[in-house]
Structure 1
Amino acid sequence: MKKKLTNLTIGLLTMICAGFWPSITIAQYRPAIDIQEWPKGKVVLTSGDTIYGALTYHRTQEIINVQHSDGSISSLSPVNVEYFVAQEMPSGRSHIFRTLRWDMGREYTEFKKPTFFEELNRGPLTLVMRETYIRRDANNSRGLAGNYLYDPSFYNTNSQWMEQVKELYYVLLPDGNVISLRNVRKDLHILFGNRSKEVKSYVRQKKLDYDKPHELVAIVNYFNTLSLATSRAF
């Protein structure tokens, strides 16, 4: 029995070292930190047309490329796109990105630019997200060189520099306004209004963390449940 366990351990370590782990699905491919590729997707245009194909999303440039079956590529900006859906394979998990008119975080302006946001849920408060990127010197960041190997937000660009994906969260209000969550916990509870105490109680009970994306979505979803229940009561 001991010999079998030893052989199993050696086999697992061999797969890890070789880069294989059968139970893990690659979510999407990033040829660069701000570029994502998915093997399957659809794009709904503002014209009403829908196109299908493999997607490449250039986040910094705000461009989505769609590869057609004949090999041709369409390059589209938020002005042309209502929304697009990127699908992972073989899991089938979908990521929805919507074009929203955004003031770019400038409070005193009427100009709003069409901008892609990833939609994380939907309800009275819709949580949406964009990315920013932090460049770090691996040689001068204590403990970073070891940590980045286990953190999917880190990308090793060369032997000296590492880049990290940082999520920026926003809330889409029912009136179409996009609110920046500069301090996620504080700003959300301002939006929760008189439901804030109930949400805080739920967060404590479930031991949820505002810094973890899936748990943050659960917090906002709980508020939406309370809000919809109140609306139905009237």
Structure 2
Amino acid sequence: MKTLRYSLGIVLVAVGLSLGATTPAAAQQRANFTQEFGGSTVLLTTGDTLRGPLALHRNEDVIRLTMPDNTVNTLSAVAVQSFAVKGQQADRRNYYDDFYDARSGYYYGSPYYNMPPRPRRERVDTSLVRVFRTYRWNHDNDYSDFKSPAFFEQLSGGPNILLRREALVERAVNNGPMYGGYGYNPYGVPRTSYYREIKDAFYLGLPSGNVLPLRNPKKDLLAAFRQQAKQIEQYAKDNKLDFSDPRELAFIVNYANSLQPKP
């Protein structure tokens, strides 16, 4: 029995260490988040176009473009009008989509032992073309008039465009209700572990160039289309569309745009 507990402890320590930070202060904080793509087309504010493999540094709103001569061109959002990417490279070191599912069944007594599986995020589609546009943004500080250029992913058509920003966040999890606090439990497993996941934040890009945050996507979107709110809500209900799902929310925004009076 002692040997079995020792083995389980080794497995769980390895899982806990592979998930990132090990200090309570890092819980629910943004982690450095970089995504790499095999190809891109970048339209600069000067009107020039560049192409090549691209790395998107999300926290800094910076892209690093590898040129044909293997030199690297670093560009901030202020220099970029828009860019399209494809061939996303999966990096399992950055995040763990199915953290709770992976923990289920490791040992009886785990708070996730009999927990139903969480909905999975969409898997990386290397053939998908993703479009990013630059908007001036107050970084969700509603009390500040200062805005700086930032990258937003375009998810719908216009004139009101559904936008998304992804962030990598670190969260804490307790390794069992009977092992509260910090330190290690009897299996040699840290009582508090940390994992990383991607968090979506949605926005509405308005024809004026302003960015409207959709902190509560359903409530805020219906408020933005107040005159058509009942029609939009009924459309979502009839088609079983989820306001928190990126793809389905894009359908809802496209429908909302179709209800707008033509200029």
TM-score (normalizing by structure 1)? 0.72
RMSD of equivalent CA atoms: 2.2
Secondary structure (helix, strand or coil) at the match of 1:217 reads helix
* Stretch deviating more after TM superposition (187-196 or 97-106): 97-106
Structure 2 distance, partners of 1:205, 1:135, is 36
1:146-185 equivalences in 2 (<5 Å)? 160-185=193-218
Q: Cα gap change, 1:186/1:141 in structure 2, threshold over 3 Å: closer, same or farther? A: farther
Structure 2 distance, partners of 1:192, 1:123, is 14
Amino acid at match of 1:224: N
Q: Does 1:115 find its partner at 2:150?
A: yes
Secondary structure (helix, strand or coil) at the match of 2:127 reads coil
1:62-211 equivalences in 2 (<5 Å)? 62-88=61-87, 92-140=127-175, 160-211=193-244
Structure 1 distance, partners of 2:67, 2:205, is 32
Structure 2 distance, partners of 1:199, 1:210, is 11
Structure 2 distance, partners of 1:198, 1:56, is 41
Structure 1 distance, partners of 2:176, 2:251, is 33
Is the 1:33–1:165 Cα contact (8 Å) retained in structure 2?
A: no
Runs of 4+ in 1 over 6 A off after TM superposition: none
Structure 2 distance, partners of 1:124, 1:193, is 16
Larger helix percent: 1
Listed as ranges, the gaps of 5+ residues in structure 2 are: 1-30, 89-124, 178-191
TM-score (normalizing by structure 2)? 0.65
Higher normalized contact order (CA 8 Å, seq sep 6+, divided by chain length): 2
Listed as ranges, the gaps of 5+ residues in structure 1 are: 1-31, 143-158
Secondary structure (helix, strand or coil) at the match of 2:256 reads helix
Residue by residue over 1:10-60, the C-alpha shift from the partner in whole angstroms, topping out at 9 and shown as x without a partner, is xxxxxxxxxxxxxxxxxxxxxx86110110101111111111000100111
Report % sequence identity. 38
Structure 2 distance, partners of 1:108, 1:138, is 33
